[in-house]
């Protein structure tokens, strides 16, 4: 199916799947009573790995096509960005989700389980797709400033990633003050890095974003 029709087709398909989960909620709740929570999180994690892997692939192929110091700096910074995003998911997000899903099943809050494993991951993957597109653009033209669209994709993608994870944590009943603190950092620091690097080479934007994500990761560890 040619573009842009295939994008509309996929949008309709995703919305239909989400609607079916509501209409067939009784059947879904029976599944949630028996399903393995670690297996559920493993499936979601595979989607995340695939999209982050796409970002790494775009960075590497961009560097191969444009082998220069700026491209190398952009590729390395892009890899660090991917590493911190992956760490945020697997080091902090998965253990929190596992504990929250266990509590939800014990209390028979199957609507919570549905939202966390079926709805919110769509937003996580979409946000990471934005980041992957921006990284590919930055590495391909590392010596020139990122255009407005790529800069917006990068900032919105990272901010949206932290927003989706915050929604998951809040839906699971995590402490809202801690969640909102990390969310604020996840939106403001990468956004500031993209804004402050206007007019600077693309590799410097990625480097500043990597530093911002390192700071967020440090706040998680505290």
Q: Which long-range contacts (C-beta less than 8 Å, at least 24 apart) are formed by 72-77?
A: 73/142, 73/203, 73/204, 73/206, 73/207, 74/138, 74/139, 74/142, 74/202, 74/203, 74/206, 75/139, 75/142, 77/203, 77/206, 77/207, 77/209, 77/210
Residue 134, token pair as written in the block: 């921006």
Statement to judge: residues 60 and 13 lie in one domain: no
Statement to judge: residues 113 and 46 lie in one domain: yes
Statement to judge: residues 29 and 108 lie in one domain: no
Statement to judge: residues 78 and 140 lie in one domain: yes
Statement to judge: residues 50 and 109 lie in one domain: yes
What local confidence, expressed as pLDDT, does residue 26 receive? 62
Count CB atoms within 10 A of the CB of residue 33.
Answer: 11
DSSP character at residue 147: P
Cα–Cα distances in angstroms (integers) from residue 17 to residues 13, 46, 48, in the given order:
6, 19, 19
pLDDT at 222 over 70: no
What local confidence, expressed as pLDDT, does residue 60 receive? 81
Residue 26 to residue 222: CA distance in whole angstroms: 41
Lowest mean pLDDT across 46-55, 188-197, 204-213:
46-55
The domain total for the chain is 2
Per-residue confidence band for 203, with pLDDT thresholds at 50, 70 and 90 = very high
Statement to judge: residues 82 and 97 lie in one domain: yes
Residue 10, token pair as written in the block: 């996929």
Residue 171 to residue 119: CA distance in whole angstroms: 11
Domain that holds residue 208: 37-221
Average pLDDT for residues 137-164, to the nearest whole number? 92
User: For residues 178 and 111, is the Cβ–Cβ distance under 8 A?
Assistant: no
Statement to judge: residues 88 and 198 lie in one domain: yes
Statement to judge: residues 19 and 47 lie in one domain: no
Give tens-digit pLDDT for 64-104: 777 788 888 888 899 999 999 999 998 888 888 999 999 98
What local confidence, expressed as pLDDT, does residue 184 receive? 94
Statement to judge: residues 75 and 152 lie in one domain: yes
Residue 15 to residue 219: CA distance in whole angstroms: 36
Statement to judge: residues 109 and 18 lie in one domain: no
Q: What is the pTM (predicted TM-score) of this model?
A: 0.87
Statement to judge: residues 96 and 141 lie in one domain: yes
User: Taken in order 72, 88, 18, 152, is the CA torsion positive or negative?
Assistant: negative
Lowest mean pLDDT across 12-16, 62-66, 80-84, 214-218:
62-66
What local confidence, expressed as pLDDT, does residue 93 receive? 87
What is the SS3 string spanning 10-49? HHHHHHHHHHHHHHCHHHHHHHHHHCCHHHHHHHHHHHHH
Statement to judge: residues 172 and 77 lie in one domain: yes
What local confidence, expressed as pLDDT, does residue 190 receive? 95
């Amino acid at each position: 199916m040619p573009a842009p029709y295939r994008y509309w087709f996929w949008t309709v398909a995703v919305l239909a799947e989400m609607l079916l989960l509501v209409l067939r909620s009784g059947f879904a709740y029976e599944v949630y009573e028996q399903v393995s929570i670690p297996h559920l999180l493993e499936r979601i994690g595979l989607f995340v790995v695939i999209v982050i892997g796409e970002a790494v692939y775009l960075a590497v192929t961009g560097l191969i096509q444009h082998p220069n110091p700026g491209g190398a700096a952009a590729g390395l910074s892009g890899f660090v960005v991917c590493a911190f995003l992956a760490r945020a998911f697997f080091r902090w997000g998965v253990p929190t989700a596992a504990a929250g899903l266990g509590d939800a099943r014990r209390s028979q809050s199957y609507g919570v389980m549905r939202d966390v494993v079926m709805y919110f991951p769509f937003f996580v993957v979409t946000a990471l797709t934005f980041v992957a597109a921006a990284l590919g653009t930055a590495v391909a033209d590392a010596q020139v400033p990122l255009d407005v669209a790529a800069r917006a994709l990068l900032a919105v993608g990272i901010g949206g990633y932290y927003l989706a994870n915050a929604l998951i944590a809040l839906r699971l009943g995590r402490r809202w003050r801690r969640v909102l603190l990390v969310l604020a950092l996840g939106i403001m620091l990468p956004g500031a890095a993209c804004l402050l690097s206007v007019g600077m080479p693309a590799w410097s934007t990625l480097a500043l974003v990597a530093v911002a994500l390192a700071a967020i990761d440090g706040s998680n560890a505290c």
